[in-house]
Amino acid sequence: MISMNAKKVAVIMGSDSDWPILKPAVELLKQFGIESEVTVASAHRTPAKVRTFVESAPEKAVAAFIIGAGAAAHLAGVVASYTTLPVIGVPINATSLNGMDALLSTVQMPSGIPVATMAINGAKNAAIFAVEMFSIADDDLKKQLADYRAEMVAGVEKKAARVAA
Ligand code: RP5
């Protein structure tokens, strides 16, 4: 059984070439004090590794997955098939189709096995979404999210003032 304190995020990418896109998500999680475990495993090239990693996640206190993959990006869906923990998918722009291939492969899941799909290369939103889920039962994370929003507003206002000057 997952403890209410289980807040680790497992981050899986289909290739090491996806890391520059996923790295900001891991950094953002760290900023919120959320631990992550990162690995490279491919639905196509290393399917056995994917299954073993996902099935061992609960005993490592993993409470959600962030999955990034490009091309025919089945990885998030395959991960979702092995777990009932929430799976957040990040389609990655890795081919001449500019990420549309990955977006459609990630988002068009058959009914019953959901993947919460972010924008193409939208890794930071994946991290924020995970923090939002964890914040449901964590007032400190709620406060951190409110501060993060307030900083965003201040940043936008600062830029707006520059435009208006
Ligand atoms: C996918 O194919 C990976 O997630 C990556 O986005 C894409 C290209 O992989 P490499 O050929 O760079 O290893 O499986």
Q: What is the pLDDT of residues 43-58, one digit of tens each?
A: 999 999 999 999 999 9
Model pLDDT for residues 93-142, shown as the tens digit of each residue: 999 999 999 999 999 999 999 999 999 999 999 999 999 999 999 999 99
Q: What is the pLDDT of residue 2?
A: 40
CB 139 within 8 A of CB 4: no
Q: What is the ipTM of this complex?
A: 0.96
27 CA to centre of ligand 1 in angstroms: 22
The protein residue whose alpha carbon is closest to atom 10 in ligand 1 is 15
Average pLDDT over residues 7-21: 97
Instruction: Read off the tokens for 4.
Output: 């209410």
15 assigned ligand-binding residue: yes
* Local structure of 82: helix, strand or coil: helix
45 assigned ligand-binding residue: yes
- What are the domain boundaries of the chain? 8-138
Pick the CATH number of 8-138 from 3.40.50.2300, 1.10.30.50, 3.40.50.1970, 3.90.110.10: 3.40.50.1970
28 CA to centre of ligand 1 in angstroms: 23
9 CA to centre of ligand 1 in angstroms: 21
What are the residues whose beta carbons fall under 8 Å from the beta carbon of 94, sequence distance 6 or more?
15, 17, 18, 70, 71, 102
pTM for the whole structure: 0.94
